[in-house]
Chains A and B, each alone.
Chain A
């Protein structure tokens, strides 16, 4: 397993905090909400780390980071791009939640042809007016299948759960920041 390396020292000789980036791919944002469920412990966390790209900071581009947390599976071309960008920039990349770990609920569309899904939603959907399949070039192209993140890039740690509880995320971050082995009590491992 990948280890945290020593923090780099900045120009004024101070130790820099580890940098964390987070991204939501094809998920429901529930894992990020669960992350925020650490509640006031987030004050302790910002003492320990610096946030890079994340919906929490609204920074759009990921820079060199120690830890990247990925929520959601890989369902379109933009997801692939973001995931690869995270892999390039993060020393440790973590699959967070059921969708990142195994595709989750979005991967249930893998039972059908992509075209069937689009027709069902945009042509035959109840209440659809002026039916057409969206094809604006700004919209990322959907992949044929939804994939777990480990099928696209190397993943260092997996945190299952839909979502992983705030305690699971908190335990993981504390252990990894302390350079400890990642272990969870029974109550913190669940897939639902």
Chain B
């Protein structure tokens, strides 16, 4: 007797429960759908668009689309991969992502997803925006050059840490991450190094200080294995924290 509800992901039957998104069901089944703003611990955000899939001929974000019986989801065709590459290329040119000069390099989810989609160039014209670095906090630095506006820190600080340290202000190209403190600086905020908001950053924007190169380049999360095998930055941080406890 099979009353299990399923949809097809690249031809494979994926079981799901009521309330699941395509992403939830795929992750549970061990199928990788590239993503940046999604983290299973938080409510879906649907902003980065990297998890774009073709669902019965329509392009949808897998992290926000409710799973439904009979859906045919294309997660790996060259057409979908190319769209993801284009989205990633736009993310790269919109900020200042200087991988050789970034201490997150090798353990950065933006980089890892770009490797996964075989992105070899930024293709578009770089914006080279002028953004700042805030190193006013004794234990945490924030480099706005690398922020991709995934809002994971916003969600983690609001929903888990209950501190509301981060917020997005502005619209469109003017959108930017701001810090909720009297001076607008991280040093005056309630953020502490053990906060969830610090460990969920998928890129090198929010960085714990004093540990930058503890793990050598070449030995990092994505240096030898793709993200489809080793998983997200945040879940690797979780595992490390559990191991330390």
Contact = CB atoms under 8 A, between A and B. Distances in A.
Interface of A: 95, 98, 101-105, 107-108, 110-111, 145, 147-148, 150-151, 155, 157-160, 162, 184, 186-187, 189-192
Interface of B: 92, 96-102, 105-106, 111, 114-115, 118, 120-123, 125-126, 128, 130-131, 217, 223-226
A192 B115 contact: no
Interface of B is mostly: loop
13 contacts: A98-B99, A101-B121, A107-B126, A108-B98, A110-B96, A145-B128, A148-B126, A155-B121, A162-B99, A162-B100, A184-B118, A190-B223, A191-B114
A150 B123 contact: yes
Given A110-B128, A186-B224, A191-B114, 13 more contacts: A98-B98, A102-B126, A108-B98, A108-B101, A111-B130, A155-B121, A157-B120, A184-B118, A189-B115, A190-B106, A191-B111, A192-B99, A192-B111
B117 to A, nearest CB: 10
Interface of A is mostly: mixed
Given A191-B99, A192-B217, A102 B92 contact: yes
Among the interface residues A104, A105, A184, A186, which one has the most CB atoms of the partner chain B within 10 A? A186
Nearest to B127: A110
A155 B224 CA distance: 28
Contacts of A159: 120
